[in-house]
């Protein structure tokens, strides 16, 4: 046999072995697909960096809206934290206040954009999240928006369709001005407000859902332009005066229609300021805050009401959440409490002390078990350890004490608890 022929046979045998090995190996990712009226849903088990034999690690990041958060209380200034967390976890669930940055946004395939009311229902276990490939987005414009400002917003929607390929399919103008009012709650210090004609908003949304069968709704309400609080906000101080009512608007739509919704305020351009805080600057570079909302809604997960007859197969449930990260003094929200009081598997609650708000709902006051960290740098480290199956305390000096024993007589390490058995001598182990 010639050496050339022998060499070819060896290559053939090698290639066949490699092929057989690949065919015999389990796939590294699993797709679970199902079709609905207008979007294709995909489960969160598709993360290619999840190791075989381990389920995806899911984390929830919360920064309440309109409470003057040091990080996340301005124009998308919590987005760097979300980007960092998304690089560590398999699936990150957060809400528009964290992920929106007016004209700016950042696409992250493993981040779910979930409206605040829906996030609360998800946390309590009554709703599930069904990830999608694409949503048909409808746009509702307040009849109180001036003609030139309305055209600017429509041009923005067209730009996202042409340049980003976003499926913004139709817009509608409300049949009456929404008549927005905003103020600061004197008791809590939070921003809040009301709209004079909520029925007009709901009629507009119903028309888009019924006629165009949209999967998500972007709302643009005409908000007041001036105020001392706006000047403070531009300097990186105080609270976002608009945010509280924005949350009320989106809550109203999500509660009524059980579909994703987010709000972008319509404002006239502010005079140029040379002393603008970088945390507020994203809202100064265009005529509208709409781009981030349309981008977020185009991939926002659908909401499945559990127990309503619809299947939650392939959906993400509250019991899938491994950790929740939020400001230390803002732990009293419905979603936070639901996670902390879950009768199912409780997620690790991580409270960040550096992110201060006007609230005073700390884990200690609420009787909530939480890991306190100084800043988001530490929080990311805790989550990385937790995902790796490592007790985060073992990363700290003297973080681990002697193992405890449930026996009423002797601990397994040979030391004795004198409080339980005084006759056996003093205790010599740490609690």
Q: In DSSP terms, which residues pair with 34 in a beta bridge?
A: 41
pLDDT at 385 over 90: yes
pLDDT at 94 over 50: yes
Predicted pLDDT at 338: 96
C-beta of residue 141 within 8 angstroms of C-beta of residue 152: no
Predicted pLDDT at 369: 95
pLDDT at 24 over 60: no
* pLDDT per position as a tens digit, 117-158: 999 999 999 999 999 999 999 999 999 999 999 999 999 999
Q: How many angstroms separate the CA atoms of 66 and 359, rounded?
A: 11
Q: How many angstroms separate the CA atoms of 104 and 75, rounded?
A: 9
- Name the region of 263 (left: φ>0; alpha: ψ -120 to 50; beta: rest): beta
Chain CA centroid to CA 61, Å: 5
Give 55 or 100, the one with higher predicted confidence.
100
- Coil, strand or helix at 369: coil
- Coil, strand or helix at 305: strand
Q: Which of 17, 101, 66 lies closest to 239 in space, CA to CA?
A: 66
Pairing of strands 91-94, 58-61: parallel
Give 83 or 229, the one with higher predicted confidence.
83
What is the longest distance spanned by two Cα atoms in the chain? Answer: 94
* pLDDT per position as a tens digit, 329-349: 999 999 999 999 988 789 999
What is the percentage of the chain residues whose pLDDT exceeds 90?
A: 69
* pLDDT per position as a tens digit, 38-59: 454 444 544 445 567 678 999 9
* pLDDT per position as a tens digit, 197-248: 999 999 999 999 999 999 999 999 999 986 656 778 888 888 999 999 999 9
> Mean pLDDT over residues 274-286, rounded?
89
Q: Is the dihedral of CA 66, 72, 75, 76 positive or negative?
A: negative
CA 43-45-47 angle, to 5 degrees, is: 115
Q: In DSSP terms, which residues pair with 61 in a beta bridge?
A: 325
Predicted pLDDT at 422: 42
pLDDT at 428 over 50: no
Give 406 or 352, the one with higher predicted confidence.
352
Q: How many angstroms separate the CA atoms of 78 and 97, rounded?
A: 8
Q: How many angstroms separate the CA atoms of 110 and 97, rounded?
A: 17
Q: DSSP letter string over 187-212? A: TT--EEEEES-HHHHHHHHHHIIIII
- Coil, strand or helix at 336: helix
What is the percentage of the chain residues whose pLDDT exceeds 70?
A: 81
Q: How confident is the model at residue 409 (pLDDT cuts 50, 70, 90)?
A: low
């Amino acid at each position: 046999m010639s050496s050339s022929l022998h060499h070819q046979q060896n290559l053939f045998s090698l290639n066949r072995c490699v092929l057989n090995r690949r065919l015999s190996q389990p796939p590294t990712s699993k797709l679970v697909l199902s079709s609905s009226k207008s979007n294709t849903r995909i489960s969160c088990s598709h993360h290619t960096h999840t190791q075989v034999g381990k389920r995806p690690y899911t984390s929830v990041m919360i920064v309440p809206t309109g409470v003057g958060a040091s990080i996340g209380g301005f124009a998308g200034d919590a987005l760097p934290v979300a980007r960092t967390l998304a690089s560590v976890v398999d699936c990150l669930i957060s809400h528009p206040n964290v992920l929106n940055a007016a004209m700016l946004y950042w696409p992250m395939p493993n981040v779910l954009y979930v409206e605040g009311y829906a996030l609360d229902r998800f946390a309590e276990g009554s709703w599930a999240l069904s990830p999608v490939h694409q949503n048909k987005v409808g746009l509702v414009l307040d009849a109180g928006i001036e003609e030139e400002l309305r055209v600017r917003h429509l041009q923005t929607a067209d730009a996202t369709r042409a340049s980003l390929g976003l499926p913004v399919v139709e817009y509608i103008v409300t049949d009456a001005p929404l008549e927005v009012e905003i103020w600061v709650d004197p008791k809590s210090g939070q921003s809040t407000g009301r709209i004079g004609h909520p029925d007009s908003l709901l009629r507009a949304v119903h028309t888009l859902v019924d006629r165009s069968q949209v999967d998500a709704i972007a709302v643009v309400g005409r908000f007041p332009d001036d105020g001392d609080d706006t000047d403070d906000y531009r300097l990186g101080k105080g609270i976002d005066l608009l945010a509280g009512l924005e949350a009320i608007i989106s809550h109203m739509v999500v509660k009524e229609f059980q579909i994703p919704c987010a709000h972008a305020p319509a404002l006239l351009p502010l005079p140029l300021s040379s002393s603008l805080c970088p945390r507020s600057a994203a809202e100064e570079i265009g005529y509208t805050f709409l781009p981030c909302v349309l981008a977020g809604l185009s991939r926002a997960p659908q909401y499945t009401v559990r127990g309503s007859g619809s299947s939650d197969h392939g959906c993400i449930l509250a019991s899938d959440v491994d950790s929740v990260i939020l400001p230390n003094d803002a732990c009293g929200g419905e979603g936070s409490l639901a996670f902390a009081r879950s009768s199912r598997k409780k997620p690790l609650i991580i409270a960040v002390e550096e992110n201060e708000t006007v609230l005073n709902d700390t884990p200690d006051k609420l009787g909530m078990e939480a890991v306190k960290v100084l800043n988001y740098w530490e929080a990311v480290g805790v989550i990385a350890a937790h995902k790796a199956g490592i007790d985060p305390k073992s990363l700290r000096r003297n973080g681990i004490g002697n193992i405890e024993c449930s026996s009423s007589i002797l601990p397994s390490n040979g030391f004795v608890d004198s409080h339980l058995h005084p006759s056996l001598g003093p205790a010599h182990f740490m609690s």
